């Protein structure tokens, strides 16, 4: 991933507004292979059962912005589990984020995420056949890997995450796929998006990818002072909201 100098900051007003519409949040651990993984669980109001989301952070780690997004999805009626792939570590410099992301073996990350899916699937307040995933940056790539590893995943939203084109891997996907990408993103350029779309379409897999021509990487994150694009971010996240409502709330 490219090094983008994001200022990691809390947004207490938005968090408090989301909290007023959600029931609770709690730190949780769950099995991951022979070990355990961890995350923060955000619950909507009401007994449920509710649709659910696995929320996957950027290369910075489970920071305040990702927690805010997870709380927002709980306020919209989803049981949201924000997975902590770095097991407690959060980067505050691009160099540290690079080291943390490079130090995370992909098989461990996917194992933690499939553990998160199983944890949600077994909760009584979750509709076990209405579980989706969303990720940004590194987390967008992992969201796709979760869809490959877990055929019961219902929907996945990839926000400027690394894409696979190997048809043997993509054939394992049964989730509907939505993607938001930047036309100026050097790490995931438009050609990569088009290649992914073509591979998915050739397999008859549902995919809806949109490229925002003037946007670069991480354009949805308001902490990305140099690259945040408010109008594009609003449109992209509205697309995600409509997508999850159609796929998980029917």
What are 75-109's pLDDT values in tens digits? 999 999 999 999 999 999 999 999 999 999 999 99
Q: How confident is the model at residue 24 (pLDDT cuts 50, 70, 90)?
A: confident
Q: What is the mean pLDDT of residues 8-19?
A: 36
Neighbouring CB atoms inside 10 A of 98's CB total 15
Assigned CATH topology for domain 12-248: Rossmann fold (3.40.50)
Q: Which residues pair with 39 in a beta bridge?
A: 28, 83
From residue 193, alpha-carbon distances to 162, 163, 172, 214, 239 in Å are 9, 7, 19, 15, 17
Distance between alpha carbon 233 and the CA centroid of its chain, in Å?
15
pLDDT of residue 47: 87
pLDDT of residue 12: 33
Asked whether the predicted pLDDT for residue 8 surpasses 50, the reply is no
Q: What is the mean pLDDT of residues 213-228?
A: 96
Q: Are strands 22-32 and 50-56 parallel, antiparallel or unpaired?
A: unpaired
pLDDT of residue 57: 98
pLDDT of residue 230: 97
Q: How confident is the model at residue 14 (pLDDT cuts 50, 70, 90)?
A: very low
Q: Dihedrals φ, ψ of 114, to 5°?
A: -70, -30
Asked whether the predicted pLDDT for residue 19 surpasses 80, the reply is no
**pLDDT, averaged across the chain:** 92
Asked whether the predicted pLDDT for residue 32 surpasses 70, the reply is yes
Asked whether the predicted pLDDT for residue 10 surpasses 60, the reply is no
Alpha carbons 44 and 79: distance in angstroms, whole number? 6
Neighbouring CB atoms inside 10 A of 33's CB total 12
131, 152 contact by CB (below 8 A):
yes
pTM of the model: 0.91
Asked whether the predicted pLDDT for residue 18 surpasses 70, the reply is no
Q: How confident is the model at residue 15 (pLDDT cuts 50, 70, 90)?
A: very low
Least confident of 10-24, 28-42, 204-218: 10-24
Percent of the chain with pLDDT over 70: 91
Q: How confident is the model at residue 73 (pLDDT cuts 50, 70, 90)?
A: very high
What are 150-182's pLDDT values in tens digits? 999 999 999 999 999 999 999 999 999 999 999
Tokens, residue 7:
């200022």
Alpha carbons 181 and 141: distance in angstroms, whole number? 12
Neighbouring CB atoms inside 10 A of 106's CB total 10
Q: What DSSP string describes 70-92? A: HHHHHHTT-EEEEE-TTTT---S
90 CB contacts (<8 Å, ≥6 apart)?
8, 60, 61, 62, 63
What are 118-132's pLDDT values in tens digits? 999 999 999 999 999
Single out the residue of 101, 95, 79 nearest to residue 28, CA to CA.
79
């Amino acid at each position: 991933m490219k090094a983008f100098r994001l200022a990691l900051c809390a947004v207490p007003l938005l968090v408090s507004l989301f909290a007023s519409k959600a029931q609770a949040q709690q730190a949780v651990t769950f099995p991951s292979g022979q070990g355990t993984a961890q995350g923060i669980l955000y619950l909507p109001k009401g007994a449920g059962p509710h649709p659910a989301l696995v929320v996957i952070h950027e290369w910075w780690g489970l920071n305040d912005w990702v927690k805010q997004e997870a709380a927002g999805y709980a306020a919209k009626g989803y049981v949201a589990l924000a997975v902590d792939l770095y097991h407690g570590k959060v980067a505050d410099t691009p160099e540290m984020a690079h080291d943390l992301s490079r130090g995370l073996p992909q098989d461990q990350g996917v194992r933690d995420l499939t553990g998160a899916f199983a944890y949600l699937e077994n909760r009584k307040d979750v509709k076990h056949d209405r579980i989706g995933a969303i990720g940004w940056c590194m987390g967008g790539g992992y969201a796709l890997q979760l869809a490959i590893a877990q055929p019961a995943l219902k929907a996945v939203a990839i926000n400027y995450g690394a894409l696979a084109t190997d048809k043997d891997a993509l054939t394992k996907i049964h989730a509907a796929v939505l993607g938001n990408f930047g036309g100026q993103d050097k790490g995931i350029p438009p050609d990569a998006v088009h290649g992914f779309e073509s591979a998915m379409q050739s397999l008859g897999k549902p995919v809806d990818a949109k490229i925002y021509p003037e946007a670069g990487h991480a354009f949805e994150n308001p902490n990305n002072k140099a690259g945040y694009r408010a109008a594009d971010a609003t449109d992209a996240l509205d697309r995600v909201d409509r997508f999850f409502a159609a796929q998980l709330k029917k």
